[in-house]
Amino acid sequence: MPPSPPSPPTHRLLLRQLRTALGIADPAALERAFAELDRLADDNDGLSAEARGVLRGLPRFIAQADAAHYQADRDLELAKRSLEISSGELIESNDRLQKAVGYREDAMTALRETTNRLLAPLGRRVDAEDGLHMVARHLDELIADLLRTRQDLQNRQFALDQHAIVSITDAAGRITYANDRFCEISGYTQAELLGQNHRIVNSGLHPPEVFRQMWETIASGRVWHGEIRNRKRSGSFYWVAATIVPFLDAAGIPMEYISIRTDISQQKALEENMQRAQRFLQEVMDTLGEGVYTLDADGNCTFLNREAETLLGWAAAEVRGCNLHDLVHFQTEDGTPVSRDDCPTHRSIRDGKVYLVRW
């Protein structure tokens, strides 16, 4: 059974080519021509086998060309769609790249601005054309400087902590830091001090006005100095010479206070002992029936008992620290003033001798 004849071509490009080459444009007419060629190959014994093969194979050849044209169209359409997809992806990639470049430039601009704010106190800056490598180098140097500064501060804080009693409070007066020296002298642990007000060590000796004046001073941004008696956890007392320094924010408002104190308990104990000794001496001297006064090397009065006040007519508070020679106006028997260098009392003091005079 002979194979069924192929369908006539339908591809428009192939039909135009057949019309140009063979003068046949109608698929139906081409199908009739194919049938006629097939009969011609069967009925003509004078044709060679090759010619018969050509006549019989021409319809299949044209059908294959028709199919090839359709396949080429499909391949072209696929290539076109692939190109469109690739083009879209390329556009999207380019947009992403442009955005990434924009983000990178914005990030570099922000990084330069931040770096320049950090470098400004040091008198250094990065330029607009400096790249990431140069900015990183400046930041590396800045970090190294900060680490050195931090180490210096730690060393200084260590040295300060060995001697001073240091604490820091917030703006409301709550303790946020207390060094070991504070804990040692007060008897409180850091856990017991943190979050507390300094009233925890208030001895009750000083009137409220002292602390009001202190708060008015530091709240206005000024430094306060003073001597305060504090109470230990055990109930005993200690004295400190205190300096309170306010730390201000950008608006000039105190945000915290640092207090640096020195233990002056021994100094205060010596002062109290001296005052007791002076009171005792005053009481003893006041019981004597003779006037007694003391002078320093320059002849200034340092002590006067009651009998001396009566004899001289001066109160002790009036002559203390004054030159007694100038006040008393030493005179000779005829009333002539005696100069200080000629004064027997002054010469005796100068020569380390006892001078006895009767009035």
Task: Please tell me the predicted confidence (pLDDT) of residue 203.
Answer: 95
Residue 301 above 80 pLDDT?
yes
How does pLDDT run across 152-170, given as a tens digit for each residue?
Answer: 767 666 666 667 899 999 9
How does pLDDT run across 239-297, given as a tens digit for each residue?
Answer: 999 999 999 998 999 999 999 999 999 988 888 888 887 787 777 777 777 788 787 87
Taking the C-alpha atoms of residue 354 and residue 88, their distance in angstroms, rounded to an integer, is 119
Taking the C-alpha atoms of residue 26 and residue 4, their distance in angstroms, rounded to an integer, is 20
Band (pLDDT 50/70/90 cuts) for residue 323 is confident
Strands (E), the chain: 165-170, 175-178, 224-231, 237-248, 254-263, 293-295, 301-304
CA 177 to chain centroid: 18
- The reported pTM is 0.49
In order of their start, the domains of the chain are 1-108 (no CATH), 165-263 (3.30.450.20), 271-351 (3.30.450.20)
**Widest CA span of the chain, in angstroms?**
190
Sign of CA dihedral 307, 309, 310, 315: negative
284's CB contacts (< 8 A; 6+ apart) are none
Taking the C-alpha atoms of residue 266 and residue 272, their distance in angstroms, rounded to an integer, is 10
